[in-house]
Structure 1
């Protein structure tokens, strides 16, 4: 096969074409005469039918000027037919034949066609449209010599350059048009082009999807190479806009002209050397190709082969179908990432396979395009001697006779893995719209249907909604575009110089691409032959828990990472800001998520100090009960009777309750325990101190009553002591009840004092109430201390005054030092201070008051006799 050798001349032919394209599409011969430029070969295909569909397709790549030796009239010569483009032409035929063979589609009607090759040139495209409309060899505007021809609409063209002038003409005549390749955004304007439709998306849709694809792969740092023309400028503006929206920055932009006159000149290489250095020094590994990527642009990019081969080239769907461009420099396209719009029309069937294999010159001897393809790719002679001579000189090949039996499917790129049957889909969609319109207009007179077909097809194309043979539901959007999902692919150059295509997955352009499971990135084979995605970032991604810090005078994609502040988190990669956790939550160590704050209180099970306090409280409670038992057993002994048995038992019960009140301070605080804590201890300890006060008063009264005729004798007895205890305790009870009524203690959650911790504590409610309870206990203790201190030296063997003095001194010392400690601590530490004060003060009372008596009762029982009492006391006892 000679497919590779013609590529060497393709560059030269393109240069000739580009020079020719600068001429005007109309040749003015005189002030009053306007003629359309003629052609060497029009490449027209006509099959009459009840309803006709016009087709303007691109099969030949471009046009070169041509003149016969015997005249000076310049003509357009279409050259370089491409197999992948001819495949679209074959699909047109197949789709028409399939529609005609469908008994449910347009019954009793036959679809016909009139197809012409635009040769990728606007002048030839305009000529083709006018030829189809006029039905003549030479186009005549506003005239049709085929009066009975019923043209419903047009299919075409491939490029925006040829489609726009076609759409401008067809809009004037009211004909609907479906393009299979034009992506110019201006064609989506329904005011200017109300009859225009297309089986793909515009550049807006393509570059929107490309940006989303890059974002899905985690890239935000790219380079762009575009064509230096109007098309390149427009696409660059659209692309950079979508990249900016998705947070992707452009490291460099290089514009390449498609002028190929000086492609191999030394001056051209020097001109592009700075651009090559830019690419070589760039930090991104991803370069996007946009604009009109022609052979001229690729020819210039050959200079960049060594640096581009180390990059990942991202290409749009418009370049995917141009296999001849990729073939021109396989090294440049040695590793590309692209996507192609899925065609809802299925061509994977035995029927289409058999149909394609029948296309050969021996079967279709009148097919000029097929003849040219055999001439170019198999070097076969045609039936026209002049054409053989012309093409042999044009392509610089030696032609020979062929049998014409080879299959077209054997030609390289005729059927590729990335092929999309968009022409067949366009014909199928127009056929279904014509079918719907025909049913609607069936009751109209036949003579009126012709004009109705032309003008009303647009309405039925807008309403079109059906399911294709492939099972996909298709319909046009409001802007005339067909939106379907994309297939993502990765191409790699194999050692045998063949491009292998690897499908990665699919995605919808309008859906968010956060779910990367739609893209099988592990199947991608990059330049390094690893599945790891190449770097396309100016800065390493800031992991969750970090935030981006912009660099000075740098693009937004270039930044440093800083850890979130205390109390803040970031739960997304490349987060620009950190966010505070809710009040009840706190960041984890990585600061990438909020977790519940730990609760801080004096727990029963999780703190050793709680177990210690509980054990001490139980031990002292048991000790108090034992002492009570001892006093109960020896209640009739002199030492027990001499110290007011009832007050002693009341004091022991109060001390025991004080010890047990410690358990109200342990565990998770709730409102009820907060109210009972201080109040319970305050009342019980006030009873204990009141009992000591009553004991001290009784000692003083007894000493006063020893004098003969003293009036203090009437105060001797239990009434005085009981009255003192009841009166003093009642005041404390009144204070506590008032506190509870006005502003009682309650559970409080302190979320600010200790970061990451919720301190569960009791709020006093009213500070006045709290300090009133403590202050009143202090007042009782002070009075008891003063009286006991004064009565400490009274002549009595069992005088308790000196023991009460020490106990009250201990109580005052403990609670005075407790106040600053209480104010300077929070949470469980505050509770520990309170428990320590309670245990210490209560244990002081127990030790100072009762242990000496227990020592006498248990250790020295011989001293617990009335003899010792009467021998050492004053005369009043006797």
Structure 2
């Protein structure tokens, strides 16, 4: 261990040149620090590259700036924050210790990565190699980096100090050397494994003639060497190998022209991409784009996770094959990502830089705004800062998210297991601090209650009351959760109450109602079609076919209005649900009432052959239906004018959930609608019962009697059930009443007629009707 503690920090006013070595000076150092008992260092690549502002040859004195932050790489950065936050919440992992972090953006630059590592090792303040100025928190290891080039340089330094390093993206096989890199680990496979798999893939498809595009750097050289070795073993030949140097390349240069000509002239239809994907490789691909649409690209997971390549060359890469890492199980982090907005994290410079680059939003620093506006050649303006980082399409690509989470998870759990192992081996008695207290410590979720007596040190621990929590040990009082939250099972944290409503997608009861409503609506439509096709037959004409058609349409729409009752209530759906079913049911009952009155009047008060009998059969029935329906419409208009229904949240009926429901507004209006429907149904039932034995065609009065009996029975039973339920079950009761009563009317009135129309056509004649009347 070469690190030693020296007088640093505030005690050093002017560090000596030998102690202080600032390798890279940047305009903005993207540094993220959170204190804790245990510190995890992190070096992530978020910005794509760095550029210098100053003398080209004087690197130490030149100012460097990080450019082009990439949203999916920022996702990896946030994943480490999420993992540390989740493990801090878990009392079983490293109990009585808190995890902190010290993180930097390497900007995909080796020198910046080295500078960041030395800064983390030195602690806050000046970079002092070989000394630790950290006053609190013990540094246990490092996460990162993503690229092999920066990771190798980091690993060389950390190997000296024996610090554990877990990379989430470096694939170079150089790091397999346990002698040089004894503390290096990673959550991805090495290039040796990747290109072994890739060569097997080529052999499987019989592709023996391929081209290779590679970066001309350490990563590209290593990968092409491994690739050619594996290809040779599989009998696959390389048609050409183009290496792209990491320097400015113009289309006028001979090397660039030769590369384009090589690709154009080659008969190889398969091209392998390897090495480091850079802007120079992008330039070449862009120049030869028109020649590559019939080519098939093959590449490994490192290039497959490159968001820029996948976004800007999507059309050209269609049909390509990529070797990707298998997915590791990780928690859902969407809600955590959603919280990252500039308005919520004004100090997050990386987030601000992403907003500036992709949304042209100005930041808080005017000088930085002027600088970046000139560099990116964009005009900046003030933004609300409410856009979520998850709304960026590229951010939604998970990429190496699971690898980052597993890297943090593995490092922390390894430390946890080490502490458990040390604790089990040490003698239980000079290793533990003696404990002398009257009562045990009260855990989170409980509070202290003093015992009767004179000693304040003696107390009992009782669980917090309903709706209260305590999130610290030995709490004197419990805290009340807000109205939309409820304590978790341990009562040490408030969690959001679940919303309770009858859903048509995630609730089995809602699915059943939606299914039955659709089926009954379809059946009603089929009956309507049968009546339309047989509208000139005796059975359809006998009882005012216009009323029959209107009744069928209103019943069909009544079945469909059930969908207003499903799903999360909103103001518009609350308004429509009661009004729609009230008016539609009233139209249906008005038609039934009109049919009943016609039967009653025709056989009780009007002599056969009288002029009034013809008038009642043709006009009076329509007038009755219209007047009865219009009265209900007036009631609904008055209801909506005085106090219409609206969405309401019931937070008091249940402790652990919020009922999302419809407040009916005016209770008088709601029961007036129901009462009026009940009045019409009762009148229709009484009249139909009085004339049920008259010799009407096809026993119309008897059918109406049964249908109104079903209707009145259902709604009479619904009222007490409606008043005694809450939440989604209250809605379910009303839906059941709608479906049952509508089905009763449909079945009692129309099923017997459909039976005669479809299966007893010999009875569907005027002669048969007259004979049955005479017989009666």
TM-score (norm 1): 0.45
Partner of 1:174: 162
CA separation of 1:146 and 1:369: change in aligned 2, threshold 3 A: same
User: SS in structure 1 opposite 2:241?
Assistant: strand
1:405 and 2:386 matched: yes
Structure 1: 5+ residue stretches without partners: 1-28, 450-878
List per-residue Cα deviations over 1:465-489 (Å, max 9, x = no partner). xxxxxxxxxxxxxxxxxxxxxxxxx
Change (3 A) 1:438 1:34: closer
Candidates 419, 426, 434, aligned match of 2:415: 434
After TM superposition, give the deviation of residue 31 of structure 1 in Å: 10
Structure 2 CA distance for aligned equivalents of residues 424 and 233 of structure 1: 30
Aligned twin of 2:310? 326
1:279 aligns with 2:267: no
Deviations 1:333-391 (A, max 9, x none): 344210210232424x3xx1111110111111111111111111111111111111111
Q: Do the aligned partners of residues 158 and 247 (structure 1) sit closer, same or farther apart at CA in structure 2, a change above 3 Å counting? A: same
Of 302, 316, 325, which aligns to 1:341?
A: 325
Is residue 2:349 matched to residue 1:368? yes
Q: Which residue does 2:34 correspond to in 1? A: 47
The CA deviation at 1:242 is 0.8
Distance in 1 separating the partners of 2:229 and 2:403: 28
Query: How far off is 1:141 after superposition?
Result: 0.5
CA distance in 1: counterparts of 2:302 and 2:218, whole angstroms: 16
1:149 is displaced (CA, Å) by: 2.2
CA distance in 2, matches of 1:276, 1:60: 30
Query: Which position in structure 1 is the counterpart of 2:587?
Result: none
Question: Contact 1:40/1:66 (CA < 8 Å) preserved in 2?
Answer: no
Aligned to 1:133: 121
Q: Give, in angstroms, the shift of residue 314 of structure 1.
A: 0.5
> What is aligned with 2:300?
316
Answer whether contact 2:212 2:273 (CA < 8 A) is retained.
yes
Distance 1:363 1:244, change over 3 A: same
Note the C-alpha offset of 1:35. Answer: 4.1
Distance 1:422 1:371 in 2: 25
Q: Which residue of 1 aligns with 2:107?
A: 119
Q: Deviations over 1:796-851 (max 9, x none)?
A: xxxxxxxxxxxxxxxxxxxxxxxxxxxxxxxxxxxxxxxxxxxxxxxxxxxxxxxx
Measured on the aligned residues, the alpha-carbon RMSD in Å equals 2.7
User: What is residue 263 of structure 1 aligned with on the other side?
Assistant: 250
Distance in 2 separating the partners of 1:423 and 1:356: 15
Q: For 2:140 and 2:401, locate their aligned partners in 1 and report how far apart those are by CA, in whole Å.
A: 25
Paired residues for 1:466-505 under 5 Å: none
2:207 to 203, 206, 219: 219
Q: CA deviation at 1:394?
A: 1.0
Q: 1:159 to 1:445 in 2, by over 3 A?
A: farther
Give the match for residue 396 of structure 1: 377
- Whether the aligned pair in 2 keeps the contact of 1:63 and 1:119 (CA below 8 Å) is yes
Partners in 2 of 1:32 and 1:97 — Cα distance? 35
Please point out which of 77, 80, 102 is paired with 2:90. 102
Distance 1:137 1:325 in 2: 38
Task: Give me the whole-angstrom Cα distance separating, in 2, the residues matched to 1:131 and 1:417.
Answer: 30
Counterpart Cα distance in 2 of 1:144 and 1:445: 31
| Structure-1 separation of matches of 2:84 and 2:297 | 38
- d(CA) in 1 for partners of 2:395 and 2:179? 38
Please name the residue that 1:385 is paired with. 366
Aligned twin of 1:421:
402
Aligned-pair CA distance for 1:73: 4.2
Q: CA deviation at 1:332?
A: 4.0
Change (3 A) 1:32 1:56: closer
Measure, in 2, the Cα distance between the counterparts of 1:73 and 1:142: 23
Secondary structure, in 3 states, of the residue corresponding to 2:170?
coil
Contact 1:187–1:196 at 8 Å: present in 2 too?
A: yes
Q: Secondary structure at the match of 1:440?
A: helix
C-alpha distance in structure 1 between counterparts of 2:123 and 2:233, whole Å: 50
Counterpart CA distance in 2 for 1:140 and 1:337 is 47
State the SS of the aligned residue for 1:86: helix
Structure possessing the higher relative contact order (Cα contacts under 8 Å, 6 or more residues apart): 1
Given the superposition, is the C-alpha separation of residues 162 and 418 from structure 1 closer, same or farther in structure 2, using an over 3 Å criterion? closer
**3-state SS, counterpart of residue 380 of structure 2:** coil
Could you tell me which residue of structure 1 aligns to residue 182 of structure 2? Answer: 194
Aligned match for 1:148, one of 136, 139, 147: 136
How far is the alpha carbon of 1:84 from its aligned partner? 0.8
Cα deviation, 1:580-624, whole Å, max 9, x if unaligned, reads xxxxxxxxxxxxxxxxxxxxxxxxxxxxxxxxxxxxxxxxxxxxx
Distance 1:418 1:166 in 2: 22
Distance 1:421 1:291 in 2: 23
Alpha-carbon distance change, 371 to 311 in structure 1, aligned in 2, over 3 angstroms? same
- Name the residue aligned to 1:59: 46
TM-score (norm 2): 0.50
Q: Do the aligned residues in 1 keep the contact of 2:21 with 2:129 (CA within 8 Å)?
A: no
Distance 1:387 1:279 in 2: 43
Q: For 2:81 and 2:399, locate their aligned partners in 1 and report how far apart those are by CA, in whole Å.
A: 21
Which 5+ residue runs of structure 2 have no aligned equivalent?
1-15, 432-776
Structure 1 residues 76 and 137: alpha-carbon distance in aligned structure 2, compared to 1, 3 A threshold: farther
1:218 positional shift: 3.0
Partner of 1:183: 171
Give me the whole-angstrom Cα distance separating, in 1, the residues matched to 2:36 and 2:137: 8
Maintained 8 Å contact 1:342/1:420? no
Counterparts of 2:427 and 2:37, CA distance in 1: 15
| 1:165 counterpart = 2:165 | no
Rounded to whole Å, the distance in 1 between the matches of 2:168 and 2:394 is 18
